[in-house]
Chain A
Amino acid sequence: MSRPARVWSLVAEQAASRGGRVSAADACLAAVAAVHVSGAWLLAASGTEPGHLMRVTDGVSELLAELQLTTGEGPGPDAAASGGPVLASDLDEPDAGRRWPAFAPAARLAGAAAIFAFPLRVGAIRAGVMGLYRTGAGPLSGFQLGDALLFADTATLLMLDAADQTVRHAAAPAGSTGSGPGGQTAELTLHRAEIDQATGMLTEQLGVGITEAFLRLRAYAYAHDRRLSDLARDIVARRLRLHPDPNPCTDEQA
Chain B
Amino acid sequence: MDGALLSDTFVELTDTMVAGFDVIDFLHVLTDRSVQLLDVSAAGLLLADPRGELRVVAASSEAARLLELFQIQNDQGPCLDCFRSGQPVQAADLAAEAQRWPRFAAAAGQGGFAAVQALPMRLREQVIGALNLFRASPGAFDPADIRVGQALADVATIGLLQERSMRHHDTVNEQLQTALNSRVIIEQAKGKLAERLGLDMDHAFNLLRDYARTSNRRLSDLAQAFVDGTDALPALTAGKAQPQADGRRGRPATRPRR
What band does the interface of chain B fall in when counting residues whose beta carbon is under 8 Å from A? 35 or more
With a CB–CB cut-off of 8 A, which chain B residues contact A203?
188, 191-192, 195, 227
With a CB–CB cut-off of 8 A, which chain B residues contact A83?
178, 181-182, 185
Interface residues in B216-247 by Cβ distance below 8 A to A read 223-224, 227-229, 247
Give the residue of B173, B192, B248 whose beta carbon is less than 8 angstroms from that of A201: B192
Give the residue of B52, B56, B167, B169 whose beta carbon is less than 8 angstroms from that of A3: B52
Flag whether A82 is at the interface (Cβ < 8 A).
yes
Cβ contact within 8 Å between B167 and A205: no
Flag whether A84 is at the interface (Cβ < 8 A).
yes
Closest to A89 in B: B170
- Decide: A87 near B50, CB < 8 A? Known: A196-B184, A203-B192: no
Cβ contact within 8 Å between A238 and B191: no
Flag whether B28 is at the interface (Cβ < 8 A).
no
Cβ contact within 8 Å between A200 and B188: yes
Interface residues in B143-202 by Cβ distance below 8 A to A read 167-170, 173-185, 187-196, 201
Flag whether B73 is at the interface (Cβ < 8 A).
yes
Cβ contact within 8 Å between A209 and B195: no
How far, in Å, is B149 (CB) from chain A's closest CB?
25
With a CB–CB cut-off of 8 A, which chain A residues contact B72?
190
Cβ contact within 8 Å between B50 and A193: no
Flag whether B124 is at the interface (Cβ < 8 A).
no
Cβ contact within 8 Å between A124 and B177: no
- Decide: A241 near B50, CB < 8 A? Known: A197-B194, A201-B195, A207-B249: no
Flag whether B20 is at the interface (Cβ < 8 A).
no
With a CB–CB cut-off of 8 A, which chain A residues contact B258?
252
Bound form: Cα–Cα A44–B52 in Å? 27
How far, in Å, is B99 (CB) from chain A's closest CB?
25
Contact with B along A67-100 (1 / 0, CB 8 A): 0000000000000001111111100010100000
Cβ contact within 8 Å between B196 and A189: no
Cβ contact within 8 Å between A209 and B173: no
Cβ contact within 8 Å between A87 and B173: yes
Flag whether B53 is at the interface (Cβ < 8 A).
yes
How far, in Å, is B176 (CB) from chain A's closest CB?
8
With a CB–CB cut-off of 8 A, which chain B residues contact A95?
167-168
Cβ contact within 8 Å between B174 and A86: yes
Bound form: Cα–Cα A192–B176 in Å? 16
Flag whether B122 is at the interface (Cβ < 8 A).
no
Flag whether B7 is at the interface (Cβ < 8 A).
no
With a CB–CB cut-off of 8 A, which chain A residues contact B194?
197, 200-201
With a CB–CB cut-off of 8 A, which chain B residues contact A84?
174-181
Give the residue of A82, A191, A204 whose beta carbon is less than 8 angstroms from that of B195: A204
Cβ contact within 8 Å between A238 and B254: yes
With a CB–CB cut-off of 8 A, which chain B residues contact A193?
56, 65, 69, 187
Cβ contact within 8 Å between A197 and B190: yes
How far, in Å, is A69 (CB) from chain B's closest CB?
22
Flag whether B3 is at the interface (Cβ < 8 A).
no
Flag whether A142 is at the interface (Cβ < 8 A).
yes
Cβ contact within 8 Å between B50 and A200: no
Cβ contact within 8 Å between A199 and B191: yes
Bound form: Cα–Cα A204–B204 in Å? 14
Give the residue of B49, B181, B196 whose beta carbon is less than 8 angstroms from that of A204: B196
Bound form: Cα–Cα A71–B75 in Å? 46
**Residue with the highest number of chain B CB atoms closer than 10 Å, among A89, A204, A205:** A204
Besides A84-B177, A192-B55, 5 other A-B contacts (C-beta < 8 A): A146-B52, A196-B188, A199-B188, A200-B190, A204-B252
Of all A-B residue pairs in the complex, the 4 with the closest CB atoms, nearest first, are: A200-B191, A84-B178, A123-B184, A196-B187
